[in-house]
């Protein structure tokens, strides 16, 4: 069960952790699985992986993973941590009838109602939920107009307190003030350029429909000057497409390409209503696309053209968009909705799992510049250990079925991020989560009251 010893290995000045006895799913290119394997961590990286029979006989800490699946930490490629305190809240008035109304009546009021302390609590609670389900890397997209300046530092503090890796940005839009958020992006990008390998930044924008030509041009120029990738919503709903045509006489991806925002480090979220030749722009510029199936269904939106994007060779990943923290559940939702919409039980099963396990890995590698997402020597020691006792054979040919129909329901027993245990026997180690949640209740009431007064 738990560790036998804590400390440093006698033969090195770096701390070592040996995870042994579990079913090790490496997610390497060969699809290597070991029914009784070990992972040796030295410092913040993976030192060795192999069968338990040849595992080292000592380490600074030993985790007995018998009865568990040991796999790379999961990655969330698009989140909105600031949305956490909206759970259970219904805005006053008639229910929103479309996505534009959802934005205007709920989310654009939620973000304006946040204080800096609300931002911290939202991030810390959402990250604690994520890491309990084995997620070790989160790419976030933030907005808090009432406390814009320094808000990304507040979120970074939550990441550091819990111990996760993150990539942050602030969503620029003109809806409250022209170019609001530009300076926060620039400041944070400059500050993180030479910082910790666990924290990165992109240049964030909301969506084409809330960005003037002047703001888009300025963001593109500053982003190129800083060598930054961009993180932006695109074609999430018809209102974005229609408003862009009416106000700017252009298509979405044409605007972003012309502003210099496409490219291998740029992340476009949703893409539901992109036209086929707009998908071609993503492919030609090697830009990335992230789909968010549970969020899209919750908002009554259509289905992202994931299979069409994959056919074009586009790197496609998976996010939660502020919804529930379970990344495996997102993959399951993706394949189910595609089968339902296409009325074809042959599609999307492997593709959905690939978005979670390969697409998100490739996105994170572009953003962070390392080899996370695999259990292999030299990779960052991001590891999720899930208690799982299968009642049917578990091997390479059945793995995806167990992932989407078994592990989808399971919380991690241990989660390690860059070699540090951040979940211990199901509990987050870096904070007093009970006290945090209790305090958040009062903060949520404050946010809700401020929204009702708007």
- CA dist 85 → 82, 170, 202, 307 (Å): 7, 18, 24, 34
Q: Which of 390, 438, 414, 375 is nearest to 61 (CA)?
A: 414
Q: What is the pTM of this model?
A: 0.95
Per-residue pLDDT band at 3 (split at 50, 70, 90): very low
pLDDT of residue 196: 80
Structure tokens at 144: 């808090």
- Range of lowest pLDDT (91-95, 128-132, 170-174, 262-266): 91-95
Three-state DSSP class for 278? helix
User: Tell me: the pLDDT tens digits for 20-60?
Assistant: 999 999 999 999 999 999 999 999 999 999 999 999 989 99
pLDDT of residue 11: 47
User: Tell me: the pLDDT tens digits for 408-425?
Assistant: 989 999 999 999 999 999
Quick check: 299 and 99 in contact, CB under 8 A? Answer: yes
User: Tell me: the pLDDT tens digits for 126-156?
Assistant: 999 999 999 999 999 999 999 999 999 999 9
pLDDT of residue 12: 54
pLDDT at 359 over 50: yes
pLDDT at 8 over 80: no
Region 205-210: mean pLDDT is 98
The more confident residue out of 171 and 323 is 171
pLDDT of residue 193: 64
What mean pLDDT is reported for the chain? Answer: 95
pLDDT at 77 over 70: yes
Domains of the chain: 16-73+375-428 (2.30.40.10), 74-368 (3.20.20.140)
Region 224-232: mean pLDDT is 97
pLDDT at 397 over 60: yes
Percent of the chain beyond pLDDT 70? 97
Q: With helix as H, strand as E and coil as C, how does the chain read?
A: CCCCCCCECCCCCCEEEEEEEEEEECCCCCCCEEEEEEEEEECCEEEEEEEHHHCCCCCCEEEECCCEEEEECEEEEEECHHHHHHCCCCCCCCCCCCHHHHHHHHHHHHHHHCCHHHHHHHHHHHHHHHHHCCEEEEEECECCHHHCCCHHHHHHHHHHHHCCEEEECECEECCCCCCECHHHHHHHHHHHCCCCCCEEECEEEEEHHHCCHHHHHHHHHHHHHHCCCEEEEECCCHHHHHHHHHHHCCCHHHHHHHCCCCCCCCEEEECCCCCHHHHHHHHHCCCEEEECHHHHHHCCCCCCCHHHHHHCCCEEEECCCCCCCCHHHHHHHHHHHHHHHHCCCCCCHHHHHHHHHHHHHHHHHHHHCCCCCCCCCCCECCEEEEECCCCCCCCCCCHHHHHHHCHHHCCCCEEEECCEEEEECCEECCCCHHHHHHHHHHHHHHHHHHHHCC
User: Tell me: the pLDDT tens digits for 266-306?
Assistant: 999 999 999 999 999 999 999 999 999 999 999 999 999 99
Give the other-Cβ count within 10 Å of 438's Cβ: 10
Structure tokens at 360: 């998100």
pLDDT at 10 over 80: no
pLDDT at 439 over 80: yes
pLDDT at 188 over 70: yes
Quick check: 426 and 386 in contact, CB under 8 A? Answer: no
């Amino acid at each position: 069960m738990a560790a036998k010893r804590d400390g440093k290995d006698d033969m090195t000045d770096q701390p070592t952790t040996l995870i042994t006895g579990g079913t090790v799913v490496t997610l390497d290119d060969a699809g290597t699985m070991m029914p009784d394997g070990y992972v040796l961590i030295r410092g913040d990286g993976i030192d060795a992986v192999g069968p338990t029979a040849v595992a080292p006989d000592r380490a600074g800490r030993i985790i007995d993973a018998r009865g568990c699946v040991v796999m790379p930490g999961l990655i969330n490629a698009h989140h909105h941590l600031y949305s956490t305190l909206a759970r259970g809240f219904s805005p006053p008035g008639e229910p929103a009838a479309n996505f534009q109304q959802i934005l205007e009546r709920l989310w654009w009021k939620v973000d304006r109602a946040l204080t800096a302390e609300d931002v911290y609590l939202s991030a810390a609670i959402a990250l604690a939920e994520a890491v309990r389900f084995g997620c070790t890397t989160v790419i976030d997209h933030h907005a808090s107009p009432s406390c814009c300046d320094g808000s990304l530092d507040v979120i970074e503090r939550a990441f550091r307190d819990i111990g996760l890796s993150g990539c942050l940005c602030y969503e620029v839009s003109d809806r409250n003030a022209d170019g609001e958020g530009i300076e926060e992006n620039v400041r944070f990008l400059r500050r993180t350029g030479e910082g910790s390998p666990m924290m990165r930044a992109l240049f964030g924008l909301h969506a084409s429909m809330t960005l003037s030509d002047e703001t888009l041009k300025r963001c593109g120029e500053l982003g190129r000057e800083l060598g930054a990738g961009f993180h932006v919503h695109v074609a999430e709903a018809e209102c974005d497409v229609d408003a862009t045509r009416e106000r700017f006489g252009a298509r979405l991806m044409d605007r972003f390409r012309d502003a210099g925002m496409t490219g291998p480090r740029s992340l476009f979220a949703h893409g539901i209503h992109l036209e086929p030749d707009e998908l071609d722009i993503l492919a030609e510029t090697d830009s990335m696309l992230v789909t968010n199936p549970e969020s899209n269904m919750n908002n009554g939106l259509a289905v992202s053209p994931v299979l069409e994007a994959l056919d074009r060779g586009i790197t496609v990943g998976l996010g939660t968009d502020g919804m529930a923290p379970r990344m495996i559940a997102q993959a399951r939702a993706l394949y189910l909705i595609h089968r339902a919409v296409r009325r074809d039980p042959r599609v999307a099963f492997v593709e959905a799992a690939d978005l979670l396990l390969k697409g998100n890995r490739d996105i994170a590698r572009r953003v962070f510049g390392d080899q996370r997402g695999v259990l292999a020597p030299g990779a960052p020691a991001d590891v999720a250990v899930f208690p799982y006792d299968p009642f049917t054979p578990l091997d390479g040919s059945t793995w995806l079925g167990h992932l989407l129909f078994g592990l989808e329901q399971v919380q991690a027993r241990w989660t390690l991020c860059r070699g540090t245990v951040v979940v211990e026997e199901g509990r987050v180690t870096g904070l007093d989560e009970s006290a945090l949640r209790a305090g958040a209740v009062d903060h949520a009431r404050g946010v809700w009251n401020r929204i009702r007064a708007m």
